[in-house]
Amino acid sequence: MNIHPKSHDAYKLLHDGILALGRAEQQGIRVDMDYVTLKKEQLVRKIARFEEEFKKTTFYKHWVHSRGGKVNINSGSQLRHFLYDVKKIEPAKLTTTGEGSTDEEALDSLNIPELKFFSERSRFKKAMDVLEGFEREQVNNYVHPFFNLHTARTFRSSSDHPNFQNIPKRDEEIMQICRKALFPRPGHQLMEVDYSSLEVRIAACYHKDPTMLKYINNPASDMHADMAKQIFMLDKFDKSVHEVLRQAAKNGFVFPEFYGDYYKNCASNMACKWGELPQGTWKAGQGIKIGDIPLADHMISKGIRSLSMFENHLKKIEEDFWGNRFPDYADWKDRWWTVYKKYGYVDLLTGFRCSGVMSKNDVINYPVQGAAFHCLMWSFNEKDRLINKYGLNTRIVGQIHDAIVLDVDPKELNRVIRVIRRVTCEDLPKAWPWIIVPLDVAIELCPVDKSWAEKEKFVLE
């Protein structure tokens, strides 16, 4: 990976970014160490209880026997070997290297009741690891995470000591446990500014697919709701009832397809269990009804009576997805791959170059992920510059993927909001004319002197 030799602006983006991120590191974020100490004590007991229950199970005893008594309960490779090589269980999900996955979602999908204790232990151990990182790295009740611009092949940033970007987010309970430890400076409030669907929008700047551009330019349209209707064969989509199905379509099919996955993996990941009818159910749809009919029974009534049938159903949807819905996007992926095979590199819209040994998925995803992060980095740098130019007491304290975290002086809130709105949605597209789609941000704001766990949606006027 390198910077295109003709692009001075690309170099300047990272040069200014290192300095701006350094100021965020120096500022740091406050940690409630009394909370950390108390919560760790509670987690130790909870983790020990789940571990004790797991070790009573027949599953664990068989695992121990298979290894001659030497089991490391924290070893994913040992668990993988026992599940998929010894017990010959079909993996519900594969890793990027093609091995059976042992992450929480994969283990839940196997529907082995005894693994519930193991999964619960793993969940709370994640929270323990985060709190221990805060405790280990804090200086005078502040942590100062490092933010790096030289480690990720995609040109994204990374974080360590502690890893500010690795605080669990999808698991609401674990996220709350971790974020309750983090506070603004006394009298201030934390704010999180997140670019909305940034990678989808930047991808559209590359492939310019007309259907995708229509979705992006029409706020009333909803690509994920449309896909939920198609996947789950709904006559109409009611967001108040079917939002969980929209999320299932979004995270289980649409984004995996965009990033290079295919129908069979999508089907396995979306369907949790298929038993003797009518007990078949869905991980994404437990408790969901289509009218008065449970989701599983609704799918059965539509002819989807097994996982293999669902796979065939998704195969047809995948063909329609790329052949009819987003054909220009599909053509761009093929063209991009052809360019890489001919030259050994692809150039990003932001002036950087991806080169070296890459898979087709890498060639398609790195330019999008890299350029999307560069949009975030440009905005980060400009906000940092203006905060210092105006002599504000507000500070940027962190960056997580497509989001920026600020420690805001309440007296400056309205001014900061105006700066954020202008920089992210107006100044950036003017600076980079290749951005042909509107940009938008979502803002979440914590009450004054409250933890990061208490953030609420803030509506921009």
- Per-residue model confidence as pLDDT tens digits over 182-230: 999 999 999 999 999 999 999 999 999 999 999 999 989 999 999 999 9
| Across 93-107, 186-200, 325-339, 345-359, least confident range | 93-107
| Across 4-13, 242-251, 363-372, least confident range | 4-13
Q: Are 379 and 391 in contact (CB under 8 A)?
A: no
Q: Are 66 and 82 in contact (CB under 8 A)?
A: yes
> Are 57 and 85 members of one domain?
yes
Q: Which two tokens stand for residue 378?
A: 């440009």
- CA torsion angle for 178, 180, 185, 186 (degrees, to 10)? -160
Is residue 285's pLDDT more than 50?
Answer: no
Q: Which two tokens stand for residue 179?
A: 């974020």
Q: Which two tokens stand for residue 317?
A: 């949807």
Q: Are 33 and 131 in contact (CB under 8 A)?
A: no
Q: Residue 316: pLDDT band by 50, 70, 90 thresholds?
A: very high
Is residue 260's pLDDT more than 50?
Answer: yes
Q: Which two tokens stand for residue 261?
A: 């996955």
Q: Which domain holds residue 266?
A: 210-325
Task: Report yes or no on 101 lying in a domain.
Answer: yes
Three-state SS sequence of the chain: CEECCCCHHHHHHHHHHHHHHHHHHHHCEEECHHHHHHHHHHHHHHHHHHHHHHHCCHHHHHHHHHCCCCCCCCCHHHHHHHHHHHCCCCCCCECCCCCECCCHHHHHHCCCCCHHHHHHHHHHHHHHHHHHHHHHHCECCEECCEEECCCCCCCCCEEECCCHHHCCCCCHHHHHHHHCCEECCCCCEEEEEEECCHHHHHHHHHHCCHHHHHHHHCCCCCHHHHHHHHHCCCCCCCHHHHHHHHHHHHHHHHHHHHCCCCHHHHHHHHCCECCCCCCCECCCCCCCEECCEEHHHHHHHCCCCCHHHHHHHHHHHHHHHHHHHCHHHHHHHHHHHHHHHHHCEEECCCCEEEECCCCHHHHHHHHHHHHHHHHHHHHHHHHHHHHHHCCCCCEEEEEECCEEEEEECHHHHHHHHHHHHHHHHHHHHHHCCCCCCCCCEEEEECCCCCCHHHCEEECCC
Q: Which two tokens stand for residue 197?
A: 């669907």
Task: Report yes or no on 152 lying in a domain.
Answer: no
> Are 181 and 282 members of one domain?
no
Count of Cβ atoms closer than 10 Å to residue 325 Cβ: 18
Alpha carbons 310 and 267: distance in angstroms, whole number: 6
> Are 195 and 261 members of one domain?
no
Task: Report yes or no on 273 lying in a domain.
Answer: yes
Give the pLDDT of residue 446: 97
Q: Which two tokens stand for residue 129?
A: 């690891």
Tell me which of 295, 325, 355 is where a domain ends. Answer: 325
Alpha carbons 349 and 155: distance in angstroms, whole number: 13
Is residue 319's pLDDT more than 80?
Answer: yes
Alpha carbons 272 and 260: distance in angstroms, whole number: 22
Which is more confident, 280 or 290? 290
- CA torsion angle for 283, 287, 288, 294 (degrees, to 10)? 100
Give the pLDDT of residue 283: 45
Task: Report yes or no on 432 lying in a domain.
Answer: yes
- Backbone phi and psi for residue 398, each to the nearest 5 degrees, phi listed first: -175, 170
> Are 218 and 129 members of one domain?
no
Q: Are 218 and 245 in contact (CB under 8 A)?
A: no
Q: Residue 286: pLDDT band by 50, 70, 90 thresholds?
A: low
Which is more confident, 245 or 335? 335
Task: Report yes or no on 437 lying in a domain.
Answer: yes
> Are 24 and 43 members of one domain?
no
Give the pLDDT of residue 245: 86
Which is more confident, 433 or 8? 433
Task: Report yes or no on 337 lying in a domain.
Answer: no
Q: Per-residue pLDDT tens for 131-178?
A: 999 999 999 999 999 999 988 878 889 999 999 999 988 889 999 999
Tell me which of 140, 156, 180 is where a domain ends. Answer: 140
Q: Which two tokens stand for residue 216?
A: 């992006």
Q: What is the mean pLDDT of the chain?
A: 90
Cis link prior to 168 (omega < 30° from 0)? no
Q: Per-residue pLDDT tens for 385-441?
A: 999 999 999 999 999 989 999 999 999 999 999 999 999 999 999 999 999 999 999
pTM value > 0.75: yes
Domain with residue 97: its CATH number is 1.20.1060.10
> Are 236 and 265 members of one domain?
yes
Task: Report yes or no on 219 lying in a domain.
Answer: yes
Give the pLDDT of residue 460: 63
Q: Which residue in the block uniquely carries the two structure tokens 């196997």?
A: 110
Alpha carbons 73 and 56: distance in angstroms, whole number: 13
Going 345 to 351 to 352 to 358, the CA torsion angle's sign is negative
Domain with residue 423: its CATH number is 3.30.70.370
> Are 116 and 45 members of one domain?
yes
Q: Which residues pair with 190 in a beta bridge?
A: 407
Q: Are 268 and 307 in contact (CB under 8 A)?
A: yes
> Are 196 and 227 members of one domain?
no
> Are 18 and 50 members of one domain?
no
> Are 253 and 110 members of one domain?
no
Q: Are 90 and 34 in contact (CB under 8 A)?
A: no
Q: Residue 238: pLDDT band by 50, 70, 90 thresholds?
A: confident
Task: Report yes or no on 232 lying in a domain.
Answer: yes
Q: How many domains are there within the chain? A: 3
> Are 26 and 37 members of one domain?
no
Alpha carbons 170 and 128: distance in angstroms, whole number: 16
Residue of 335, 348, 321, 364 whose CA lies nearest to 211: 321
Alpha carbons 209 and 214: distance in angstroms, whole number: 9
Is residue 273's pLDDT more than 70?
Answer: no
Cis link prior to 5 (omega < 30° from 0)? no
Q: Residue 376: pLDDT band by 50, 70, 90 thresholds?
A: very high
> Are 272 and 321 members of one domain?
yes
